[in-house]
Amino acid sequence: MSRLPLIADFLESINQYPAKRWVIALSGGLDSIVMLHLAASNLPSSMLHVLHINHHLQSSADEWSTFCKSQSEDLSLPFSQIDVFPENNGEAAARDARYLAFKDFLQDGDGLLLAHHADDQAETILFRLLRGSGLRGLAGIPTSRKLGANDIVRPLLSVSRADIESYAHMHQLDWVEDPTNQQDTYDRNFLRLNVLPVLKQRWPNVVERFSSTSRLLYQDRELLDKYLDEEIAGLMLSERVLNGLMLASLTVGKRKALIRRWIYTQQGEPLNEVQLLQLEQNFFQSGLDKNPELILKTGVLRRYRKDLYLCANLVSEKEPNVQSLSEGQHKRKAGILTVESEISGSSCLKTLDKLICVQRKDGMHCKPVGRGTKSLKKLFQEASIPPWQRENWPVCMIENEIVAIPGICVCEGWSVSPSELPGFSLRWEPF
């Protein structure tokens, strides 16, 4: 590949995304150095920021950081370094730590540039094929994806490593070599060092073929995801609750595909076959007296009265004992309480004067409008509030009297009358 087509591929990828600032993930290796040079040569410097993640896994890690900083300074580009300390020396732990750092660093309007190339794509597809991946895995590395509200873009994904090396030599670029890349004890390194060279000897264009296969599988995956999303919309009781009865009426294969897709769209976490089997056995083949849970990296999947709830990780701390309330959103450890002015509706509170939110306690009672005195436990049961949400459900009081349970009831004497409008709605959204 000549210089111009490589630049054209880079710019074509970049121009598809409306980033205000491009954050260049710079490891110091060949691929990211070439990407840095391409960005600095073809994009306004005011749109660029260089970010280096120091994993502290190599004895020379600090030297790489210094090298990356000097490369950025030579190009007069702003530079930041983030130090992370992965749980272990494995590739997965390093990746998890790296992406958490990316997510924390990125600002609104940022795009993140990663330097994966076509040989990386071939390695990935081979690795996932040997691991027994499904369609999502075999589609390989996506050209772009979301990280929170930001775009991750890989503008070199269609470029071979050989072409990247040629570009680097042409421009006399310097880079660092990671010595672990030559250790074939790692699975990916084994494929790179021992398998791909043999395949290239027999099929010289094997990398391009893998890239083509990836594009075709990705198109099929996008179409399947579209159909699944349409079905999921009909199953959702709320954004994070699925209708369990409807799910139970489906075939096992379809049910697994829908739940996998739902969790991925909500949490960005793909379920593996072991997790799906566990979910099938515990959630759809166990009695209703059971309270199954599936612990995820990013949350917990639970069942209540046959329905599936996707929850945030358990809250380890108690809510504050007392919190004053006014109009607006009030973030608590277990959710968000929203107080809004309403010009209609009898289920609104008539005043916010001296209104506070307190932690629920055992034995609490109140008197909902038009009903007798009831325990909060009974109200939660009648409202089908899952047990794990009840402890941290907010209780609203004025001068030691319970006046409302957000989302459940307003109490006798505290509901707004037509002559007192506007009133105030209280909405609780658990995490």
Return the amino acid letter for 368. Answer: P
76: left (phi over 0), alpha (psi -120 to 50) or beta: left
For residue 4, pLDDT over 70 is answered with: no
Domain presence at residue 170? yes
CA atoms within 13 A on the CB side of 90: 6
28 is in an annotated binding site: yes
Q: What confidence tier does 172 reach under pLDDT thresholds 50, 70, 90?
A: very high
Q: Could you tell me how far CA 272 lies from the centroid of its own chain? A: 16
Q: Clarify whether residues 35 and 145 are in a common domain.
A: yes
Q: Could you tell me how far CA 239 lies from the centroid of its own chain? A: 15
What are the helix and strand counts (H, E) for the chain? 15, 21
User: DSSP labels for 104-138?
Assistant: HH--TTEEEE----HHHHHHHHHHHHHHT--HHHH
Q: Clarify whether residues 194 and 249 are in a common domain.
A: no
Q: For position 315, what pLDDT does the model report?
A: 53
Q: Clarify whether residues 112 and 168 are in a common domain.
A: yes
Q: Which residue has the tokens 């954004």?
A: 239
Q: Are 50 and 65 in contact (CB under 8 A)?
A: no
Q: For position 2, what pLDDT does the model report?
A: 44
Return the amino acid letter for 271. Answer: L
Q: Clarify whether residues 124 and 165 are in a common domain.
A: yes
The pTM of this model reads 0.75
Q: Could you tell me how far CA 248 lies from the centroid of its own chain? A: 27
For residue 141, pLDDT over 90 is answered with: yes
Q: Clarify whether residues 211 and 71 are in a common domain.
A: yes
Q: Tell me what the pLDDT averaged over the chain comes to.
A: 92
**What's the CATH number where 32 sits?**
3.40.50.620
Q: Are 138 and 217 in contact (CB under 8 A)?
A: yes
Q: Are 14 and 41 in contact (CB under 8 A)?
A: no
For residue 3, pLDDT over 50 is answered with: no
For 237, 352, 391, the CA distances from 245, given in Å and listed in that order, are 11, 40, 27
Q: Are 387 and 304 in contact (CB under 8 A)?
A: yes
Residue length of the chain: 431
pLDDT tens across 87-140, in order?
A: 888 888 899 999 999 999 999 999 999 999 999 999 999 999 998 888 889 999
For residue 1, pLDDT over 50 is answered with: no
**What's the CATH number where 263 sits?**
1.20.59.20
Domain presence at residue 222? no
Angstrom distance (rounded) from CA 415 to CA 324: 19
214 is in an annotated binding site: no
Provide the 8-state DSSP code for 368: B
Q: Clarify whether residues 118 and 171 are in a common domain.
A: yes
Domain range enclosing 400:
322-430
Number of domains in the chain: 3
Q: For position 90, what pLDDT does the model report?
A: 80
Q: Clarify whether residues 29 and 84 are in a common domain.
A: yes
| Among the ranges given (36-50, 112-126, 206-220, 302-316), the one the predictor scored with the smallest mean pLDDT | 302-316
Domain presence at residue 38? yes
Query: Do you find a cis peptide bond into 422, omega within 30 degrees of 0?
Result: yes
Residues 6+ apart with CB under 8 A from 354: 398, 399
- Over residues 155-180, the mean pLDDT reads 94
- The CA-CA-CA angle for residues 50, 52, 54, to 5°, reads 170
Q: Clarify whether residues 357 and 263 are in a common domain.
A: no
234 is in an annotated binding site: no
Q: Could you tell me how far CA 159 lies from the centroid of its own chain? A: 28
For 147, 154, 170, 312, 386, the CA distances from 113, given in Å and listed in that order, are 12, 6, 22, 29, 42
Q: What confidence tier does 297 reach under pLDDT thresholds 50, 70, 90?
A: confident
Q: For position 5, what pLDDT does the model report?
A: 77
Q: For position 183, what pLDDT does the model report?
A: 83
Instruction: Give the Cβ contact number of residue 394 at 10 Å.
Output: 25
For residue 219, pLDDT over 90 is answered with: yes
Return the amino acid letter for 145. Answer: R
Tokens of 150: 């930001």
Domain presence at residue 361? yes
Q: Clarify whether residues 242 and 267 are in a common domain.
A: yes
30 is in an annotated binding site: yes
Tokens of 142: 């996506």
Angstrom distance (rounded) from CA 88 to CA 82: 18
- Over residues 141-162, the mean pLDDT reads 93
Please tell me which residue, 2 or 257, carries the higher pLDDT value: 257
SS3 at position 95: helix
Q: Clarify whether residues 110 and 247 are in a common domain.
A: no
Instruction: Give the Cβ contact number of residue 16 at 10 Å.
Output: 12
Q: For position 289, what pLDDT does the model report?
A: 83
Tokens of 242: 């699925």
Q: Clarify whether residues 362 and 381 are in a common domain.
A: yes
For 288, 359, 365, the CA distances from 291, given in Å and listed in that order, are 8, 24, 26
Residue at a domain's end among 288, 312, 336? 312
268 is in an annotated binding site: no
